[in-house]
Each structure stands twice: as structure tokens, then as C-alpha cells.
Amino acid sequence: MTQAEAQAATQTAKLLVGKSALITAGGAGLGEAIALKLAAAGANVVIADISSKRGAGTVEQAEALGVAAFAVKMDVSVSQSVQEVIKQTIARFGRLDILVNNAGGTFGYTGKLADLPEELWDRTLAVNLTSIYLTSKYTIPHMLEKGGGVILNIASVAGLNGRPNEAAYCAAKGGVVQLTRALAVEYSAQNIRVNCICPSFATTRGIERIINESPDPEATRQHMLRGILVGYLADPKDIGEAALFLVSDQSRFITGVALPVDGGVSCHFAS
């Protein structure tokens, strides 16, 4: 490591000291990468995941970075579960400065709307969108009491543009983008900034599984790469870097933004 790199790492390490952050679905994939990036910057982290085992895995890595961390089982789509986790976070750390609403996904469904089962529509909206209503509703009063905070939502490029065979996911993520803007309008004057990130495809274990279990993995990878100008899929750490910027004071003048972290896929027409 050069002297300049060491200096930059030290500065990054100080960005979130004294803050506490709750990351939903922080046990794997992008949530895990975001949690570890925030922990490396000094934040104490709460990993709320439906899988206790996965949550514990992230906690172990965060603790190795020298911060306090704990895992808690949570289903983001269940109000009681969300309320309990927020209470536990405040009881343990005395504050909740950063809320990262990362939970979401497609539940493996691809198909046209007329074939989409009603339960899958409901579940997709519950986990991707209603979850953010719930976590925000029960966190914001605490943030207001403490004088402010930051909310970061993980949307998708599917929330900016239509994608075939993913109507429920597109609708839910479009809702996340709009909820982000609406919350920014409602609370920025009270020192709560609200932003979202719109990733394209990142090489999480889940995405790698989809690629490897498809009949033609190379064709599937190439399909995901279509339109990504930089020519490769994101490393989850790329999303973590953007998340760290948006939750730290380095972005103090940024609120209500839907930031594509997508290798350029959303900036042009498909060719």
C-alpha cells in the first residue's frame, strides 16, 4: 500500500465512527458488502436478516474490523418483526443513525404479467416496497428525536426502466425510487437525507447461482452484460462504495437522488 493509499484508508476508517447502522438482509449479497463497508468506516452495525445463520456470518466479519455488531432475525415484510428489531437496535446502541433498506428480490419468477400468480405479486411488493414503508415509519421518529439521520434504499435499474418478465419487480422498485423522493421531500429539512442506489447486476452468490444453474451459463452471463458499458458485472463492493458515500457526511448536500450504480446500462437505449 502506498502512503497516499494508507492515508485514504485512514480517512475512510473515520467516516462513520460513533454512528450505528441497521442493514436489512445484511447476511448475504449486497447487504453483506454494504454492512462490511460501513463497518470498515467505523459504524457499529446491526444485521437484520431472515436467516440468523447468514446474519451471524456478516457479524463475525464486521467484528473483525473492530466495531460492535449484532445479528437479529427479521422478516422485513412483517410489521411486528420490524418494530422489534428497531427497538433492539436502539436499546443496544442507544441510537440509529443510518438505515439501509436493502432487502428485496424477484423470488426467481420470470414470466409475463398475465401468468404472474397473485401471491407472488403481493410478496414482491411486500418485501421490496412495503418493507421500506415499515422500517422508515418506525425509524424516523427516533431520528427526529436525535436530530437527524440517513436512509439509503437499494432499488434497481428495474425501477428506472421496464424489463421484460419482471413486472412486479419493476413496479416495486419504481415504487422504491418514488418513496425515496417523497421521503426526501418530507424530511430533508429535519436533517434526514433519503437516497437510493439503482444497481444493474452484481456478482452476488445469488446471481452467480442463477448464471451457473441456467441451461447455458455463458449465454446467461452475456445476457446480463448486455448494455453494461464498462463490460463487466459489478462486484458487490462497488455497491458498498456508493453506499458508504451516500450514508456519510461526504454526501451531505445530496438527498432525493436515485443513483444508478450500473456500469452505464441505464444511460442509453438498448442497441
Ligand X SMILES: NC(=O)c1ccc[n+]([C@@H]2O[C@H](COP(=O)([O-])OP(=O)(O)OC[C@H]3O[C@@H](n4cnc5c(N)ncnc54)[C@H](O)[C@@H]3O)[C@@H](O)[C@H]2O)c1
Is 169 among the catalytic positions?
Answer: yes
Shortest distance (Å) from residue 118 CB to ligand X: 18
Asked if 227 is part of the footprint of ligand X (rule: CB under 6 A), the reply reads no
Contact map string, positions 176 to 215, toward ligand X, x by CB under 6 A: -----------------------x-xx-x-xx--------
Asked if 54 is part of the footprint of ligand X (rule: CB under 6 A), the reply reads yes
Shortest distance (Å) from residue 29 CB to ligand X: 2
Q: Which stretch binds ligand X (CB under 6 A): 22-30, 140-148, 210-218, 247-255?
A: 22-30
Residue 4 or residue 270: which is nearer to ligand X going by CB?
Answer: 270
End-to-end CA gap in the chain: 41
Asked if 51 is part of the footprint of ligand X (rule: CB under 6 A), the reply reads yes
Asked if 36 is part of the footprint of ligand X (rule: CB under 6 A), the reply reads no
C-alpha cell at 47: 444485521
Asked if 37 is part of the footprint of ligand X (rule: CB under 6 A), the reply reads no
> In DSSP terms, which residues pair with 99 in a beta bridge?
22, 151
Closest alpha carbon to 125 in 78, 183, 75, 169: 169
Asked if 263 is part of the footprint of ligand X (rule: CB under 6 A), the reply reads no
Shortest distance (Å) from residue 270 CB to ligand X: 17
Distance between CA atoms of residues 244 and 16, nearest Å: 9
Site residues for ligand X, 102-121, by CB under 6 A, read 102-105
Asked if 89 is part of the footprint of ligand X (rule: CB under 6 A), the reply reads no
Asked if 27 is part of the footprint of ligand X (rule: CB under 6 A), the reply reads yes
Count of chain residues binding ligand X (CB under 6 A) = 28
Contact map string, positions 136 to 155, toward ligand X, x by CB under 6 A: ------------------x-
Distance between CA atoms of residues 225 and 202, nearest Å: 10
The catalytic residue positions are 169
